[in-house]
Structure 1
Amino acid sequence: MIRFDRVGKRYGEGPPALEGVSLTVRAGESVAVLGPSGSGKSTLLNLIAGLDRPSEGRVTVDGVRVDTLDEAGAAKYRRSRIGMVFQFFNLLDDLTVLDNVLLPAQLSGMPLGAARKRAGQLLESLGVQDHAGAYPGRISGGQRQRVAVARALMNRPPLLLADEPTGALDSASAKDVEGLLRELSADGQTIVLVTHDERLAQACATRAIQLLDGRVASDGALVVGR
């Protein structure tokens, strides 16, 4: 699903954000990327998502050479192959829950009837169907993150990227999102989870990659829910 071949990324004259990173992620894996601030976690995620380009090396995701895409190609790639969940939800406050979830389908050209059916199924499966007509500011943080996950899964992406998905939540809501990620992993969804929280990684991921100063410091299997 993901292959990095000696990938490096530099910004200006400072030390590299990533240096000589080679790794693979297989379809169906749930991988946690851990490390302190400045270790390269966000850079890694941005390169997978096509939001940034490497300074050297090759990035291939689901058969696509992401490092060679232009801006339009990268946008199309994200619509069709990537679902993204962020720490602060990134929902549009002037759209209802349902309309937020429908947005990726509208951008990809999915017929409205099929899109509404898919959105309804996702909202029901994630337990937020009763809030379909509400605006994001009127629901809890945990519910907003569930809506964000529904939006991310709308176009059935082969890869889900989650950037500190519980970082802005209270402990109870974080536990709910943790359970949701564990269920998605058990269902075979490929997930790359960037987090500072080793407990979240242990609960949700089948593998952990530790970054330090832009390099892979360790890479090993985990037992989900340990």
Structure 2
Amino acid sequence: MTAPIIEIRDVTKTYDTDRPALAELTLQVAEGEAVAVLGRSGSGKSTLLNLIAGLDRPSEGTVTVAGQRVDRLTEAGAARYRRERIGMVFQFFHLLDDLTVLDNVLLPAQLAGMPAGAARTRAAELLDRLGVAGHRSAFPGRLSGGERQRVAVARALMNRPPLLLADEPTGALDSASAADVRRLLTELNAAGQTILLVTHDTALAESCAGRLVELADGRLLRDVAVAA
């Protein structure tokens, strides 16, 4: 197996409740894997995603992503880490309605200081690859849910992150658009993109992921390979 891109070791996260959100969790994800994290509400899925994204810190244990100790980062360091190493896709897209599709996709590159010419070339490639190049001058509100999620994926991939995090990426979509996003994530992983997705959509998990990780009450309940 290739070296892990995500390495969670003995992680516990407690808030102001009696039960920890995560308890002594150890998990590895190898480069190039697609792993789906499943579990009921309150199982610890969102906490795990926030720790990997550097949006929160563990109470105990270590979080390492692409060789970076995420749990040690300062606030500024965590923001830089997210720009450079993480692409994030959300249930409700989080596109900026007053920017065009192209400008939404360009935004991460601008924040990272990518030269304008290189950024526009990269954005054009992504929009074409993801089938939304014809909407580059449109505003997000004019697009279908599936099209908006494709734009959100393009934005997430703009800075060539080694890791793509997807939080319920089909949760706000109709069945046809959800199937479209499932195919897209499968294609991205087949091309080598490492993906960690949190979902309640078992069809998404089983079609896109090579492993299913299930959490319950903050603990690892199962970690199984998906049958080919």
Bin the TM-score by the shorter chain. over 0.9
Cα separation, 1, equivalents of 2:103 and 2:199: 28
Cα separation, 2, equivalents of 1:148 and 1:200: 17
SS at match of 2:220: strand
In the alignment, structure 1 residue 24 sits paired with structure 2 residue 28: yes
1:117 to 115, 121, 130: 121
- For residue 157 of structure 2, what is the aligned residue in structure 1? 153
Cα separation, 1, equivalents of 2:212 and 2:158: 27
- For residue 75 of structure 2, what is the aligned residue in structure 1? 71
- For residue 7 of structure 2, what is the aligned residue in structure 1? 3
RMSD of aligned alpha carbons = 0.7
1:143 to 136, 143, 147: 147
- For residue 59 of structure 1, what is the aligned residue in structure 2? 63
> What fraction of aligned residue pairs are identical, expressed as a percent?
71
SS at match of 1:39: coil
Matches within 5 A, 1:194-213: 194-213=198-217
- For residue 164 of structure 1, what is the aligned residue in structure 2? 168
Length-normalised TM-score, structure 2: 0.97
The residue type paired with residue 136 of structure 1 is P
SS at match of 1:16: coil
- For residue 135 of structure 2, what is the aligned residue in structure 1? 131
Cα separation, 2, equivalents of 1:44 and 1:223: 25
Q: After superposition, what is the alpha-carbon deviation per residue over 1:23-45, rounded to whole angstroms, capped at 9, x for unaligned?
A: 11000000000000000000000
Q: After superposition, what is the alpha-carbon deviation per residue over 1:124-176, rounded to whole angstroms, capped at 9, x for unaligned?
A: 00000000000000110000000000000000000000000000000110010
In the alignment, structure 1 residue 187 sits paired with structure 2 residue 169: no
The residue type paired with residue 12 of structure 1 is D
Flag structure 1 segments of 5+ consecutive residues without an equivalent: none
2:223 to 213, 219, 226: 219
Deviation at 1:13, TM superposition (A): 3.0
Length-normalised TM-score, structure 1: 0.98
Cα separation, 1, equivalents of 2:215 and 2:202: 13
Cα separation, 2, equivalents of 1:175 and 1:33: 18
- For residue 180 of structure 2, what is the aligned residue in structure 1? 176
Q: After superposition, what is the alpha-carbon deviation per residue over 1:197-216, rounded to whole angstroms, capped at 9, x for unaligned?
A: 11111100000100000000
In the alignment, structure 1 residue 88 sits paired with structure 2 residue 131: no
Flag structure 2 segments of 5+ consecutive residues without an equivalent: none
The residue type paired with residue 17 of structure 1 is A
Cα separation, 1, equivalents of 2:12 and 2:207: 30
The residue type paired with residue 85 of structure 1 is V
Deviation above 3 Å: which 4+ runs of structure 1?
Answer: none
Cα separation, 2, equivalents of 1:223 and 1:75: 37
Aligned length: 224
The residue type paired with residue 114 of structure 2 is M
In the alignment, structure 1 residue 102 sits paired with structure 2 residue 106: yes
SS at match of 1:6: strand
